[in-house]
Amino acid sequence: MPVLAQLLELTLSGREPDEKIQFSASGAKLEWLAEGVMQVSPPQGQDKGLDLVLSAGVHGCEVVPIKLLDSLIKAIGRGEVHPRARLLLMFCNPPAMRQGVRRVGQDLNRLFCGKHAGGESDEARRASELEALVAAFFDEPDRRRWHYDLHSAMRASKLPQFAISPWVPGREITSESLRRLEQAAVDGLLLQHKPSGTFSAHTAARHQAEAFTLEVAEAPDDTWPACLDELLQAARDWIEAVEPVRIGQSGSLMKFRLAREIVKYSEHFSLLLPADIENFTPIPPGMLLAEDENGLSWVVEERDARILFPMMDVAIGERAGLIVVPLD
C-alpha cells in the first residue's frame, strides 16, 4: 500500500512524506498537498466529471468519521475502490485530532466563509488554508461539485444519522441529492435558514457545490452500527461515480427546519436539560430549556419541537442548542 494511503498516520504523527506523488494499486494518482490533505485523480480515461471533497476531523474528538475517511483512503490505496471522480480528502484539524479534543483554540467550523479574515489564531490560518485548497480543487469549470463534511454529534440520537443542508439563496435540493443521502442511511435532514460559517456552507455558497454536513452514527462500546456500513458503501459509490439505484419510493428521510437557536450570552448561562438527552428528542410546549442573565430564558413555544446539539460547554456568543421542527 502506498505511504500516502496512510494519510491519517502521517497527519497524527506530524510527518511530511518524502514522496509527494504515488499511485494506488488500481493506477489512481495520489498527491499530498498539505498536512492532512491529499488529492486523488482517476487513471487516464476513467474520469466521470465529478469533483468530490470528503472531509473529517474538523472537530478532533469525533473519531468515527475520521475512521470512516481513513478506511476509504486505505481502500483506495489498496486498489479495492477505483476512483472515477477527482477527490480532495481532508483531515481538517490535526492539532485537535492529536489531542482527541473538539478544539484546541477556536472552533474551526465557525471560521469558514471568510470569517477567519483578520484572525491570527492557528484555526483561522487553517480555515484560510483549507479554503484555498478547495478553491484550487474546484477551479475546473463544467464539472459536478460535491462536498460531504463528516461529523459525529457525540451523543445518541433518535435519528442515528442526519445531514445538515447549508443555506444558500435560491438553492434547491435535488431528488438525486436526497436519494444519495437515503442510500447512505441518512434518516433526517435539517435545512438551515440563514448563512453560517461551517465548512459545508463555504463550499455550497462560494463554489456552488452540492454540500452537506453529515452527522454519522455513534459507535458506543466499540459496536459498529449497520448504518455505518451502508454509509461506507454509499461513499465508495460516490468515489466510483456510481449513481444511486432507484429502488421503489424515496421519501423516507425526515426534513426539519430551524425554529430557534439557544445562545450562551454570559457565564451565567445554564442549560436545563439532562446531560445525556438524545438529539431529536421531542420537547413539549412550555418546557424551560435554558436561562441566562437579566431574566433571559428559552421556553418551548413551537408544536412538535425537538432539541438538537444541546451543549453547555461552548464559548460566549455561540449556540448551545437548536430548537427544530418538522418542515411540513
- What is the SS3 assignment for 124-177? HHHHHHHHHHHHHHCCCCCCEEEEEEEEECCCCECCCCEEEECCCCCCCCCHHH
Half-sphere exposure of 291 (CA within 13 A, CB side): 7
Amino acid 248: pLDDT? 47
Question: Which grid coordinates belong to 276?
Answer: 445525556
Backbone angles phi, psi at 37, to 5 degrees: -130, 130
pLDDT at res. 194: 84
Q: What is the pLDDT of residue 92?
A: 98
pLDDT of residue 141: 93
**What's the chain look like in SS3?**
CCHHHHHHHHHHHCCCCCCCEEECCCCCEEEEEECCEEEEECCCCCCCCEEEEEEECCCCCCHHHHHHHHHHHHHHHCCCCCCCCEEEEEECCHHHHHHCCCCCCCCHHHCCCCCCCCCCCHHHHHHHHHHHHHHHHCCCCCCEEEEEEEEECCCCECCCCEEEECCCCCCCCCHHHHHHHHHCCCCEEEECCCCCCCHHHHHHHHHCCEEEEEEECCCHHHCCCHHHHHHHHHHHHHHCCCCCCCCCCCCCCEEEEEEEEEECCCCCCEECCCCCCCECEECCCCCEEEECCCCCEEECCCCCCEEECCCCCCCCCCEEEEEEEECC
- Residue 42: name the closest of 94, 93, 82 by CA: 82
Annotation: binding site: 59, 62, 151
| Residue ranges of the binding site for Zn(2+) | 59, 62, 151
> Cβ-count burial of 274 within 10 angstroms (0-12 exposed, 13-18 middle, 19+ buried)?
exposed
Q: Which residues of the chain have pLDDT under 50?
A: 248
What class has domain 259-326?
mainly beta
d(CA 242, CA 250): 18
Per residue in 58-109, pLDDT tens? 999 999 999 999 999 999 999 999 999 999 999 999 999 999 999 999 999 9
Terminal alpha carbon distance of the chain: 49
CATH number of 3-239: 3.40.630.10
Residues 229 and 161: their CA atoms lie apart, in Å, by: 12
pTM of the model: 0.94
CA trace torsion 67, 69, 70, 74 (10° rounding): 140
Q: What is the pLDDT of residue 250?
A: 54
Closest CA to 310 of 262, 250, 254, 238: 262
CA dist 39 and 67 (Å) reads: 18
Could you give the residue numbers annotated as active site?
215
What the block records as the C-alpha cell of 234 is 454509499
Note whether 264 and 316 are within 8 A (CB): yes
Are 91 and 36 in contact, with CB atoms under 8 Å apart?
Answer: yes
Domain ranges of the chain: 3-239, 259-326
Question: Which amino acid is located at 155 in the chain?
Answer: R
| CA distance readout (Å), 30 to 22, 78, 288 | 5, 12, 52
59, three cell numbers: 472537530
